[in-house]
Structure 1
Amino acid sequence: MAAPAAGSVPAAGATITTDVPARLDRLPWSRWHWLIVIGLGTVWILDGLEVTTVGNIAGRIAEDGSGLSVSAAQITGLAAALYVAGACSGALFFGWLTDRFGRKKLFMVTLAVYLSATAMTALSFQPWWFFTFRFLTGFGIGGEYAAINSAIDELIPSRYRGRVDLIINGSYWLGAIGGSLLSIVALNTHIFPKDVGWRLTFALGVVLGLVIILVRRHVPESPRWQFIHGHGDEANELVDSVEKDVEREKHERLPKVTQKMTIHQRAGIGFGIIARTVFTRYPRRAVLGLSLFVGQAFLYNAITFGFGNILTTFFGVSTGDTGYYFAVIAAGNFIGPLLLGPLFDTVGRRIMISSTYILSGLLLFGTAYLFHRGSLDATTMTACWCAVLFFASAGASSAYLTVSEIFPMETRAMAIAFFYAVGTAAGGISGPLVFSDLTKSGVVSDTVTAFVIGASLMCAAGLVAAFLAINAERRSLEDIATPLSQASPPSDSESATTPA
């Protein structure tokens, strides 16, 4: 049965039979996939640049003559909390809209919100203005996570999905490196006046975002979303066009596919159905998602909320030099997903997720032991952190991959939004409350306690993954979780066993 015309709402009970998922999954890697990676993935660099820059310029904004009357504590405390609150709110709000109105519309809207709010932050003249637009900047970034992760997973072939998702999420740390180095230049009063340099760091984020928009407008809507929501003809036309481009690029014909599925088209799904699906139909997967997000959130806060204070308090590092140490740590965070990412598609999800979580936790336990004994200096402590975060970054990125692929198509963006919001709230609210006091106290045992909390939760999450993780490697999204709209769907199982 043909799909309704573009812009129309499918009739109740209307069905189509489609082979679009199978055709997308059998595509070889091509220039079209690189366009998707660049257009959708670069926003994580912006996020890393944003968060790191604000942390590094907090002291300058708090100085007399900066043009803004706020304290450093307000920037790292209230402004950071508002950014986190905005990210959680934006993820949930835009996540629901993404499942209802499509990936492309929303990943353009969320980027526009981010750009506008960042530009307004650069023009701050009063504290209330600065705080308001920090919230709205987070609101846009939170929406990006839901829209972008769902679009990436639905457009990337199944045999590459794991590595691509991990590397893209890990690219946050490229932005963190850039933010650390940018702040050194922007805060140099020999180059820029005190009330101008910090504003230029936000302006640079706007410029980079505008470049991303130019690339992103060529990224298509998800054909998987289209055929479920009454636009089957557009989905077929898009995949036809991509196949022709790939065949011209590769100079060979693509093999035919035989797998098809029948879908009851629908305009949208309410919160009630989404909640019942995630927590009633897939309770073990919900436990897995929560465990992964909360574990990585606390580990990262055990380190990142105190690394500056630890270096200056215990090792005598100048506050002006901590940025260089952070750049080294950020590099380790990016290298982890880059090198380990392919193993998530070959060795498998369950083994790699559980091992990266448990290894990073054990290494942090070891770091806590060496720190308690007084066996570390600033350099060796940074080396230990790099080793921990090499594995932890791959694990944390796999949390986003996991929740984006183990729930049905119709709930994907909302599932990502929910677990992201819970993890972000744990890291951005509970984390600072627990870890900032522990790591700034100047007492060795307090810092050790912070490390032990993060390490324990990370190991616990790894053990949960060892038992509950789904072997999703190289499998179609529709095979991992049957779409709610599929006609006469087979009974789902939460078994982690890959079908023969």
Structure 2
Amino acid sequence: MSSTGNEATTLRTITTDIPARMDRLPWSRWHWMIVIGLGTVWILDGLEVTIVGNLSDALKSETGLGLTSADIGLAGAVYVTGSCVGALVFGQLTDRFGRKRLFILTLLVYLTGTVLTAFSMNPLYYFAMRFVTGLGIGGEYAAVNSAIDELIPARYRGRIAITINGSYWLGAAGGALLTIPLLNPELIPAWVGWRLCFALGAVLGVAVLLVRRNVPESPRWLFIHGRQDDSERIVSDVERRLADQDGVELDEPEGTIRVRQRRTVSLVRVARTVFADYPRRTVLCLALFIGQAFLYNAFFFTFGDTLQTFLGVGQTGAYIALFAVSNFLGALALGPLFDKVGRVRMISGTYIVSGVLLAVAGVVIGGLTAWTLTLFGMVIFFVASAGASSAYLTASEVFPLETRALCIAFFYAIGTAVGGITGPLLFGRLIESASAEQDITGIAVGYYIGAALMIGGGVVAMFLGVGAERRSLEDVATPLSAQDVDDG
């Protein structure tokens, strides 16, 4: 790496091969540390959302908080609103102060929120703590997805991002199974059991925090922000470890990039990048995020309530666990195809197929039992899981490095605000209205809306998708700092 100028006092224009060196690394134990330290946060999110979904009866009871079905939907909307706000606030800070500082901070915010939720004494306090917990999770989406894509070699990036985002469903399955004994009043008093459900999320969060301390800052972020020596040290340590411990002989890196270092990027520059420089990619990301956010937040936030209200289910844990396992297996099985078959084909295919299947479920829902509805959900979301994860992968790949976290946050917030807030509110109202007549077909309209949004997202991906598979991030979207060198 060559450079000019005085590093101690000024930012410089440098030429570096750090991206090429990272992309040519073979898979190693170091990469597994990244996956475990960063990827496990989605398990926390899945645990959190599933616990709340399974607690609907407990929270409605006198030993709970006396919530209604509409309140359950409102709590989901409040959680998602917090996620949107957290994504925007922490996303901007992630691009400015680094990935590591923020993925530590956002996890601490999550832990605070979920612990305090366990001490809820009234609905208002409960809603407030759901908002705080959402703040942390939203910030995690921006900070963690940025770091993962910048630390994982290009040829593995698609499958790893899809699988990590899909690990949400491991948490969902665990949360569903945990609620079975915790909500059994013969084992644990009813007023204690639902509170313990939230406390368990905090225990897992602390374990993740201990692992995460060892995850390094993104070398790509470091050399952009004037810390090329730290960037060099991190990559050299990984290369040395591969040579000494694994006996790997690395190929010579191919290509360098010349950048003008910077401390910050103005919001005006970010807006111009998103809306003026990459308008097609902006439309693509909005379509993908809105579709998957409505589909998941509408269906999954209220799935347990649907089973209990219309289909006579008491404990929903087993049903939701099966549903969650199918989601994770879908991401695990289909994830490698996003690198092999390609982004455009896989994204459009998973969105359109899952949308069509959801519409069919809406047509036949009146004749379904609890088990057949769950089976429908398993098939639909086996496909949809990989598609939903690809929305986060797309937003983190197709915009310049300096705007990556904020772009993820922006699309997550807009898509989730449209689909993730309106979805639970709509389904909560639909369930409450349909329950008066005990007619489950009253919620079918929600399925049709979700199907239309998913199919629409798939069609947009067919025409506007970006073939980012096996390509360097800097090749998919030139960093602003490199554009500055060209402009200069």
Q: Given the two structures, how large is their TM-score scaled by the length of structure 1?
A: 0.91
C-alpha contact (below 8 Å) 1:295/1:457 kept by paired residues:
yes
Range 377-386 or range 224-233, more displaced: 377-386
1:51 aligns with 2:31: no
Match of 2:220 in 1: 224
The count of corresponding residues between Structure 1 and Structure 2 is 481
Write the deviation string for residues 78-120 of structure 1: whole angstroms up to 9, x where unpaired.
Answer: 4322211111100000000000000000000000111122222
Quote the residue 2:183 is aligned against: 187
- Residue of structure 2 equivalent to 1:339: 333
Q: 1:171 to 1:114 in 2, by over 3 A?
A: same
**Residue of structure 1 equivalent to 2:89:** 93
* Matching residue of 1:397: 389
1:215 aligns with 2:211: yes
- 1:103–1:260: structure 2 CA closer, same or farther, 3 Å change rule? same
- Taking the TM superposition and a 5 Å limit, the aligned residue runs for 1:110-259 are 110-259=106-255
Match of 1:357 in 2: 351
Counterpart Cα distance in 1 of 2:377 and 2:10: 53
Q: How has the CA–CA distance of structure 1 residues 412 and 386 changed in structure 2, closer, same or farther, with 3 Å as cutoff?
A: same
The 5 A counterparts of 1:417-436 are 417-436=409-428
Gaps of 5+ in 2: none
Alignment partner, residue 407 of structure 1 = 399
- Name the CA shift for 1:291/1:4 in 2 (closer, same or farther; >3 Å): farther
Report if the CA contact (8 A) 1:83-1:135 is conserved: yes
Q: CA deviation at 1:453?
A: 1.5
Supply the distance in 2 between the matched residues of 1:113 and 1:446 (Cα, whole angstroms).
Answer: 38
Partner deviation per Cα, 1:339-360 (whole Å, 9 max, x = no partner): 0000000000000000000111
Please tell me the residue identity of whatever aligns with 2:205.
G
Letter in 2 for 1:392: A
* Amino acid of the structure 1 residue aligned with 2:23: D
- Per the TM alignment, residue 3 of structure 1 is displaced from its structure 2 partner at its CA by 7.9
Structure 1 Cα separation of the partners of residues 377 and 191 of structure 2: 34
Partners of 1:356 and 1:395 within 8 A in 2: yes
Q: Matched residue of 2:14: which SS?
A: strand
The structure 2 residue matched to 1:317, chosen from 312, 317, 326, is: 312
Q: Is the 8 A contact 1:58 1:75 kept in 2?
A: no
Name the structure 1 match of 2:35.
Answer: 37
> Given residue 338 of structure 2, which amino acid in structure 1 is its aligned partner?
F
Partner of 2:429: 437
Q: How far apart are residue 129 of structure 1 and its match?
A: 3.3
Distance 1:132 1:369, change over 3 A: closer
Separation in 1 of the partners of 2:63 and 2:375? Answer: 38
Aligned-partner residue type, residue 327 of structure 1: A
1:380: Cα distance to partner? 2.6
Q: Aligned-pair distance for 1:428?
A: 2.9
CA 1:96–1:481 in 2, change beyond 3 Å: closer, same or farther?
Answer: same
Q: Percent identity?
A: 56
Contact 1:3 1:16 in 2 (8 A): no
TM-score (norm 2): 0.93
SS where residue 348 of structure 2 aligns? helix
Question: Which deviations, in whole Å up to 9, do the C-alpha atoms of 1:103-143 show, x marking residues without a partner?
Answer: 00000000011112222222334444333222111101100
**Residues 342-397 of structure 1, C-alpha deviations (whole Å, 9 max, x = no match):** 0000000000000000111121222233336x3x4333332222111111111000
Cα 1:83–1:301 shift into 2, 3 Å: closer
Decide whether the 8 Å contact of 2:169 with 2:324 is kept in 1. yes
Greater Cα shift, 343-352 or 53-62:
53-62
Cα separation, 2, equivalents of 1:304 and 1:201: 18
The Cα of 1:425 is off from its aligned counterpart by 1.3
Q: 1:162·1:345 contact (CA, 8 Å) conserved in 2? A: yes
Instruction: Report the CA distance between 1:450 and its aligned residue.
Output: 2.1
Alignment CA distance shift 1:150-1:4 (3 Å): farther
SS class of match (2:191) = coil
Partner residue in 1 for 2:276 = 280
Letter aligned with residue 121 of structure 1: T
Cα deviation 1:279-321 (Å, max 9, x = unaligned): 110000000000001111222245335534544555x332x13
CA 1:96/1:231 → structure 2, altered by over 3 Å: closer, same or farther? same
CA distance 1:130–1:446, shift in 2 (3 Å): closer
